[in-house]
A and B are shown apart, each in its own frame.
Chain A
């Protein structure tokens, strides 16, 4: 008989080794996730990162309404909205890949650092497999970079700067909304018809990435058709009173004022330009014209009567009569009592497009979902035939040129569509805006 002396120290060592051995399979199982936040249960979590506070809170609230509606429709509740008109029939109203869609929300505060922090929280703590939303190009570019690094898909919300799918594009990021290049290409011919080729333009431009991008595009297309740019003045973001920037326009010899402003800045600068009599002025023997390249219905509501007769471009408008738009307006209007904004529309579309791509790919793995989106052509989502271009993850579709209505019938009926610019006219080579998509990142 062999007697073994087991010391306490030896016992502890043995227990520790056994513990590590037992824990090892768990450790390897954790590592066995194929991609970041791979859904294992009966549900999948999407992260809606929208401005709930700050200057764009109203846009954010409308985005969130649209996302909630999209989740209902994806889970087979409500009237189905644009799921009924969407050309792809992969989604069955039973969630995505049979998993019930759940969501978490974050507040971007329209600040890049806050938006990154809330997206990070939704990915790391809440297990979101996709992040979507936002109402600013600065925020979109920041969150897109974070999602690329974390290995989740980012479906951008309202972002209009060329850079989002230009020099700052990333493989994991996708944009349904149009951009400043498309606004310029769509507006150019309409401006030529409305105001002729002999015009002198004065630009007031919000002094940040989107403003520069918008000013560049409008200058490019108007100068091509013979307009002269008299001056392009940068104004600080949130200047409030723009009168000191507007008064120099009066004596500049310009007969067109281009307001490259958005949100609160656009509301104030347009209101003040009209107060200074610019809309009713005559210069060089012509009627003075004001142009707002990027319109939104929420902004038009802020500017009130001042938008009358003023031209601009928009991604979508609730008065469109195609099957998809009618279905979406009906669904949204019945739930909330008013029509959706363009921000709501693009976010609803992005949620559906992501879900559809995952369904077709048979997985939530970012690289596979991305491949399903690349080159995907679809219809029935309110913008006519659309393509997610593979080269830059930018959607190409018709662009709307709108004008402030002279006789609105309600608070929402402020813009009229004057032209639907065909996709071919706003398309440009992917390499024109620079940047590299790089490889997909699946994380984990």
Chain B
């Protein structure tokens, strides 16, 4: 029972990341009709916003101590981050909480990247076949990841969670299990709560604002909304920016769980596409529920008890579900009738 609870928790935070990426993907598909293979790269760029802010905050004041030498015979350089030297404890606090602070840093950057990407490249491919959209966005993803690699190197760059949130909670003890059997890192709980807040925020924005209402109307019938004199293209550009922000924030907050490297976007992209397909292309609710469902299923499939019955099931479970869904319900769990059918 404790093992099952652990895997459910485990699946939830991973599902949170899948859901956030898939939400943006399906939002773009639903509004612009574009299959965006560069969406994983946006997740990665978000993570590197956190890396960049940390590097900026860590800019160091270098003082040379001529009395000491390095192992290679040059005078020893003593490095102190400016922020610590200038602000003392407050500086140390900002440095410690650089990942949460990166949210504020990432929002305008990701919004700008999203808008530039849509206006500069994606809009030229609206009326082109999906294959061409996939090729151009996939190419863009490769360019972005190579750029990041040339700037930050190929090795993962650790982004520790704030000290106060870097331990783990003994959830089992609270629920009456033996101590130390259901242990869960604080930061993963933070991530789960954060993804819930972002998802709720996106739904609320689309549901309860005039802007959101126009976007939903545009998703249902773009032409009619255009005929009513509404500049739907401009709104869809902002939606693209919004999707980029959601993916970017998912990346920022994921950095203490997975040390970011240039390739992390590709790893998530494929799984997120499967999530979108299973949830239903263009269905926001479908993407979120499929994200969490597949995250949990993937965790369960990794249990030794399951793998002893079906060896290698952890590697294929998500794709297996996708194949079954495509066979029996091509529009996905919550997809609109007609999408991916016939």
Contacts and interface: CB of A to CB of B under 8 A. Distances in A.
A443 B15 CA distance: 56
B185 to A, nearest CB: 4
Interface residues of B, number: 49
A240 B7 CA distance: 17
Nearest to A52: B154
B209 interface: no
A250 B181 CA distance: 6
Contacts of B188: 243, 275
Contact of B180 (A236, A247, A282, A331): A282
B169 to A, nearest CB: 9
A250 B180 contact: yes
B220 to A, nearest CB: 36
Given A58-B153, A248-B3, A330-B71, A268 B258 contact: yes
A281 B179 CA distance: 11
B39 interface: no
Contact of A243 (B14, B261, B267): B14
Interface stretch (A96-104, A159-167, A298-306, A425-433): A298-306
Nearest to A335: B72
A420 interface: no
B303 interface: yes
A302 B157 contact: yes
Nearest to B158: A304
How big is chain A's contact interface, by range? 35 or more
A319 B184 CA distance: 37
Interface stretch (B23-31, B160-168, B232-240, B241-249): B160-168
Given A244-B7, A264-B155, A334-B72, A276 B14 contact: no
B74 interface: yes
B130 interface: no
Nearest to B271: A240
A333 B72 contact: yes
Interface string A233-277: 100101011011101101100000000000110011001100111
Contacts of A245: 302
Interface of B: 2-3, 6-7, 10-11, 13-14, 70-74, 149, 153-158, 160-161, 166-168, 180-185, 187-188, 256-259, 261, 263-264, 267, 298-299, 302-304, 307, 314-315
Interface of A: 53-58, 231, 233, 236, 238, 240-241, 243-245, 247-248, 250-251, 263-264, 267-268, 271-272, 275-277, 281-283, 298, 301-306, 318-319, 326, 329-334, 339
17 contacts: A54-B154, A55-B154, A58-B153, A238-B263, A241-B14, A243-B10, A247-B7, A275-B188, A276-B168, A276-B185, A277-B183, A303-B158, A304-B160, A306-B158, A326-B71, A333-B72, A334-B74
